[in-house]
C-alpha cells in the first residue's frame, strides 16, 4: 500500500490512469492422468502475483523491472484486460478490467513481445489495416492512420513487404504501430527492445521517448530487463520479485542514490530472494 | 461498423489463402472427386421402380447422393470451421492480439468463419453445376428459394454446434468432443448417401436428433422434386427451433470459455 499512496501523493490527487488494488493472479497447473481420475474437480494452482497495489498517473512512464518469472508479463496482461485477476481489482481510466473489459480495450494499446502475433503471410500495411478495422476504424481514415503509423515506425518503405520477410526490429516497430492504432490513453510495452541489436534498440527507444510518449500525453507501462532502458525512458520504476511488488522508486530519486537505479534494483531483488530463502 | 469488421476478416482470409497458390484448386478437386465414385455406384445400382427406397426422390441413386454429399460436406464444414479457426489462431499466435482489440469474442468467432463459408458455398455450387452439366442430373424443377431457406437455417443450427465446439478448443486446445461426436454421428445417421429407412429402427430413432437429417431430406425434396416452403414446413420449423436454441447456446459457451481462458491465462496456450 506504500507504493499506492506514494504515487497518489506525487500526482497531487489527480485521477489515476491505472490503479491496481490487492491484485493476486494464479495459474492452474496441468493435471496428471492419475489426478484426473482420482480428483477430477480439484485444481492445483501456482500463484504468480500476490497482493500487488500500484497506481500509475496519467502521462507517467512506469518501468516494470524484475528477474525472469517475476510476473512482469502477467502484470501487463492484467492491466490490458487480457487476463482477469484471481483476486483484487484493476481499473484503467476508472473502468474495471473485468466488468468493463470493452471500455478498457478502448483505452489500452498493447505492444506484445510475441513475434507471432502478426499474420506473417500479410504485409505490414495489411496487418495494420486488419487490426485497425478491429479497433473500429474503416475506409479512408484507417488507410491514412496506417500510413501515418508506418511512417512514424520507420516502415514506410517496407509497408508492402510480407511480415515473414521483416527482421525482429521491424516486427517490433510494427507492434508499436499496431499498439498506437486506436490512439490509446495507456500503452503497454512488453520488453520492446528484446532481441534487438544495440543500434536497433537505441533507435526504438528514441521512437518510444519521442512520438510514442507524445510529450507526456500518453501513459506508458514498460516491462524491461534493462536498467539503462528504464533509466532512459521511465519516470519511475516498480520492481517485482517472486510475484510481489517489492519497491517503487522514481528514476530521479534513484539517480541521486549511492549506486543509481542498478544498485537500487539489485538491493530490492536480493532482499526479496534472501527472505524467500 | 460490424459490416466493415466482417469485411476485414474476409479480406484477411482471402489474402492469406490466395497466397497459397494451389490450395483453392486442390480443395475444389477434393470436393468434386467423390462425385465420380458415386456416379459409377449410381450406374451399378441403376434406376429403381416405384417400390424402391429411392422412389420418393425420383428413383435415381446419383442425384440422391449428389444432394446428400454436397449438403453434408457443407454442413460438416459449418461444424468444424469455428474450432479450426480458433485452433489456427492459437497456433499462429494471433488469438491474443485479436482478442485484445476492440471487437467482442462473439464477433471474432463468427466473422473468422465467413470466408470459409463463402468458399465452401462456391465448392457446393460447383458440385451442382458439374452434376447438372457433366453427369446429367435434372435440376430444372429445383426450388432454389426453398433450398436457400433450408440451407440458411441448417447453417445457423450447425454453427451453434460449431461455436460450442470452438469453446471446447479454447479450453482443451485439442480433442474437441462435439466435432467428434456430432460430426461422426451426422455423417452416419444423416442419410447423406443412403436413405435412413434402410437403417435399423434404433438408428432411425437416433437420426431424428440431428439437424442434418432434416436438412438433407428437405434439400432433396426442394432440389429433386421442387417442393416449396409450404410443403417443407415441418423440417423447416424443426431446423428453425434447433437454430434458435443452438446458436445462442454456442455463443454463450464461447464467451464463457474466453472469460475462463482470461482467468486461467491459457488463451495463448496451444
Distance from CA of B16 to the nearest CA of A (A): 6
- Taking an 8 Å cut-off on Cβ atoms, the answer to whether B97 and A122 are in contact is no
The DSSP output letter for A164 is G
More confident residue, A268 or B260: B260
Secondary structure letter of residue A43 according to DSSP: -
Q: Give A172's contacts in chain B (Cβ within 8 Å).
A: none
Query: What is the spatial distance between Cα A186 and Cα A105, in angstroms, rounded to a whole number?
Result: 10
- Best mutation target, A74, A130, A165, A177, to test chain B (most B CBs within 10 A): A130
Interface test with B, best of A107, A109, A119 (most B CBs within 10 A): A119
Give pTM, 2 decimals: 0.85
pLDDT tens for B189-201 read 888 888 888 889 9
Mean pLDDT along residues A148-169: 92
pLDDT computed for residue B237 by the predictor: 95
**Length of chain A, please?**
277
Q: Which of A110, A120, A134 sits opposite B103 (nearest CB)?
A: A134
CB contact under 8 Å between A84 and B263, yes or no, is yes
- Residues B221-267: pLDDT tens digits? 999 999 999 999 999 999 999 999 999 999 999 999 999 988 888 77
Strand pairing report for A87-92 and A61-65: unpaired
Distance from CA of B12 to the nearest CA of A (A): 7
Whether residues B15 and A126 touch (CB distance < 8 A) is answered with yes
Most confident of A83-97, A247-261, B25-39: A83-97
Burial class from Cβ neighbours inside 10 Å (0-12, 13-18, 19+) for residue B128 reads middle
State the pLDDT at residue A30.
Answer: 80
Q: What is the pLDDT of residue A12?
A: 52
Mean pLDDT value of segment A246-261: 81
- With bands split at pLDDT 50, 70 and 90, how would you rate the model's confidence at A273? low
Under DSSP, is residue A112 helix (H, G, I), strand (E, B) or coil?
coil
C-beta atoms of B259 and A106 within 8 A: no
Gyration radius (Cα) of chain A, Å: 20
More confident residue, A56 or A37: A56
Q: Which chain A residues contact residue B1 at CB under 8 A? A: 136, 138
pLDDT score recorded for residue A96: 94
B69 is written with which cell numbers? 454429399
**Region of poorest pLDDT, from A43-57, A246-260, B46-60:** B46-60
Grid coordinates belonging to A42: 480439484
CB within 8 Å of chain B, chain A residues 202-261: none
CA atoms within 13 Å, Cβ hemisphere of B264: 18
pLDDT at A2: 44
Average pLDDT in chain B: 87
- A110 at B interface, C-beta within 8 A: yes
Of B100, B259, B263, the CB nearest to A110: B100
pLDDT band at B7 (very low <50, low <70, confident <90, very high): very high
Whether residue B28 has pLDDT greater than 90: no
CB A217 within 8 A of CB A58: no
Q: Tell me the percentage of chain B whose pLDDT exceeds 70.
A: 98
Mean per-residue pLDDT for B95-124? Answer: 89
Contacts of A102 in chain B (CB under 8 A): 102, 104
The larger pLDDT score, comparing residue B232 to residue B177, is at B232
| A133 lies within 8 A of chain B by CB | yes
Q: For residue B11, with 0-12 CB atoms within 10 Å meaning exposed, 13-18 middle and 19 or more buried, which class applies?
A: middle
For residue B100, pLDDT beyond 50: yes
pLDDT of residue A9: 45
Contacts of B264 in chain A (CB under 8 A): 27-28
Using a CB–CB cutoff of 8 Å, tell me whether A82 touches chain B. yes
Q: What ipTM was reported for this prediction?
A: 0.84
Please list every residue in chain A whose beta carbon sits closer than 8 Å to the beta carbon of residue B2.
none
Interface test with A, best of B101, B170, B173 (most A CBs within 10 A): B101
Q: Do B96 and A114 make contact, defined as CB atoms within 8 angstroms?
A: yes
Grid cell at residue A87? 483476486
Residues from B contacting A (CB-CB < 8 Å) are: 1, 4-5, 7-8, 11-12, 15-16, 19, 92-94, 96-104, 259, 262-268
Which residues in chain B are contacts of A80 at CB distance < 8 A?
100
Please indicate whether residue A256 or residue A226 has the higher confidence score (pLDDT).
A226
A122/B16 touch (CB, cutoff 8 Å), yes or no: yes
Residue from the list A80, A106, A116 with its beta carbon closest to the beta carbon of B93: A116
Q: Which residue did the predictor score with more confidence, B166 or A265?
A: B166
Which residue in chain A is spatially nearest to B2 when comparing CA positions?
A136
Contact A67, A269 (CB under 8 A): yes
Amino acid at each position: 500500500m506504500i507504493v499506492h499512496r506514494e504515487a497518489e501523493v506525487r500526482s497531487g490527487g489527480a485521477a489515476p490512469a491505472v490503479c491496481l488494488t490487492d491484485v493476486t493472479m494464479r495459474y492452474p497447473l496441468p493435471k496428471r492422468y492419475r489426478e484426473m481420475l482420482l480428483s477430477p474437480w480439484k485444481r492445483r494452482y501456482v500463484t504468480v502475483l500476490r497482493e500487488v497495489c500500484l497506481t500509475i498517473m496519467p502521462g507517467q512512464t512506469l518501468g516494470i523491472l524484475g528477474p525472469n518469472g517475476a510476473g512482469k508479463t502477467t502484470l501487463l496482461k492484467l492491466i490490458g484486460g487480457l487476463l482477469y485477476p484471481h483476486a483484487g481489482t484493476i481499473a484503467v481510466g476508472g473502468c474495471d478490467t473485468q466488468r468493463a473489459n470493452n471500455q478498457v480495450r478502448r483505452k489500452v494499446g498493447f505492444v506484445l513481445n510475441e513475434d507471432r502475433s502478426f499474420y506473417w503471410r500479410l504485409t505490414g500495411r495489411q496487418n495494420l489495416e486488419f487490426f485497425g478495422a478491429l479497433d473500429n476504424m474503416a475506409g479512408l481514415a484507417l488507410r491514412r492512420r496506417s500510413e501515418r503509423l508506418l511512417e512514424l515506425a520507420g516502415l514506410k518503405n517496407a509497408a508492402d513487404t510480407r511480415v515473414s520477410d521483416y527482421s525482429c526490429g521491424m516486427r517490433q516497430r510494427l507492434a508499436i504501430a499496431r499498439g498506437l492504432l486506436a490512439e490509446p490513453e495507456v500503452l503497454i510495452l512488453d520488453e520492446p527492445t528484446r532481441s534487438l541489436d544495440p543500434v536497433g534498440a537505441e533507435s526504438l527507444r528514441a521512437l518510444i521517448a519521442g512520438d510514442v510518449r507524445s510529450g507526456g500525453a500518453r501513459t506508458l507501462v514498460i516491462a524491461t530487463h534493462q536498467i539503462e532502458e528504464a533509466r532512459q525512458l521511465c519516470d519511475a520504476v516498480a520492481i517485482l520479485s517472486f510475484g510481489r511488488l517489492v519497491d517503487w522508486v522514481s528514476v530521479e530519486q534513484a539517480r541521486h542514490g549511492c549506486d543509481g537505479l542498478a544498485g537500487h534494483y539489485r538491493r530490492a531483488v536480493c532482499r526479496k530472494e534472501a527472505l524467500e530463502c | 461498423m460490424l459490416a466493415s469488421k466482417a469485411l476485414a476478416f474476409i479480406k484477411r482470409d482471402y489474402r492469406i489463402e490466395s497466397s497459397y497458390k494451389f490450395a483453392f484448386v486442390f480443395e475444389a478437386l477434393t470436393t468434386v472427386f467423390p462425385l465420380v465414385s458415386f456416379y459409377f455406384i449410381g450406374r451399378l445400382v441403376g434406376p429403381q421402380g416405384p417400390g424402391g427406397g429411392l422412389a420418393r426422390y425420383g428413383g435415381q441413386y446419383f442425384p440422391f447422393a449428389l444432394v446428400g454429399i454436397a449438403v453434408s460436406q457443407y454442413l460438416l464444414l459449418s461444424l468444424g470451421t469455428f474450432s479450426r479457426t480458433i485452433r489456427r489462431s492459437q497456433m499462429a499466435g494471433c488469438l491474443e492480439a485479436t482478442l485484445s482489440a476492440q471487437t467482442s469474442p462473439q464477433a471474432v468467432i463468427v466473422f473468422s468463419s465467413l470466408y470459409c463459408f463463402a468458399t465452401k458455398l462456391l465448392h457446393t455450387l460447383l458440385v451442382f453445376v458439374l452434376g447438372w452439366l457433366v453427369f446429367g442430373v435434372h435440376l430444372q424443377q429445383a426450388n432454389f428459394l426453398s433450398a436457400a431457406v433450408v440451407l440458411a437455417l441448417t447453417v445457423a443450427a450447425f454453427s451453434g454446434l460449431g461455436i460450442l465446439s470452438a469453446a471446447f478448443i479454447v479450453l482443451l486446445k485439442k480433442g474437441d468432443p462435439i466435432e467428434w461426436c456430432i460430426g461422426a454421428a451426422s455423417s452416419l445417421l444423416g442419410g447423406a448417401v443412403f436413405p435412413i429407412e434402410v437403417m435399423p429402427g434404433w438408428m432411425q430413432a437416433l437420426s431424428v436428433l440431428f439437424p442434418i437429417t432434416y436438412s438433407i431430406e428437405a434439400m432433396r425434396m426442394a432440389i429433386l422434386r421442387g417442393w416449396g416452403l409450404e410443403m417443407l414446413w415441418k423440417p423447416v420449423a424443426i431446423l428453425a427451433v434447433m437454430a434458435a436454441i443452438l446458436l445462442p447456446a454456442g455463443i454463450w459457451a464461447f464467451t464463457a470459455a474466453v472469460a475462463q481462458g482470461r482467468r486461467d491465462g491459457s488463451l495463448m496456450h496451444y
